[in-house]
């Protein structure tokens, strides 16, 4: 997902499962279950 404010790539915050921009700190929408599952799969 791209940040709406600075157009950089956003990451999923693992505590609240929300999209957050590591560059400007913009907080986006909650990650979908599909996106969360993909993130979990990447860890294994």
Rounded to two decimals, the pTM is: 0.79
> What single string gives the DSSP state of each residue in 4-37?
TTT-PBPEEETTTTEEE-TTT--EEEEPPHHHHH
User: What element of type H or E holds 40?
Assistant: helix 33-43
pLDDT tens across 1-44, in order?
A: 999 999 999 999 989 999 999 999 999 999 999 999 998 898 77
Question: How many other β-carbons are positioned within 10 Å of the β-carbon of residue 34?
Answer: 8
């Amino acid at each position: 997902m791209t940040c709406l404010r600075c157009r950089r790539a956003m990451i999923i915050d693992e505590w609240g499962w929300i999209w957050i921009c590591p560059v400007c700190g913009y907080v986006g929408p909650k990650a979908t279950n599909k996106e969360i599952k993909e993130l979990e799969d990447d860890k294994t």
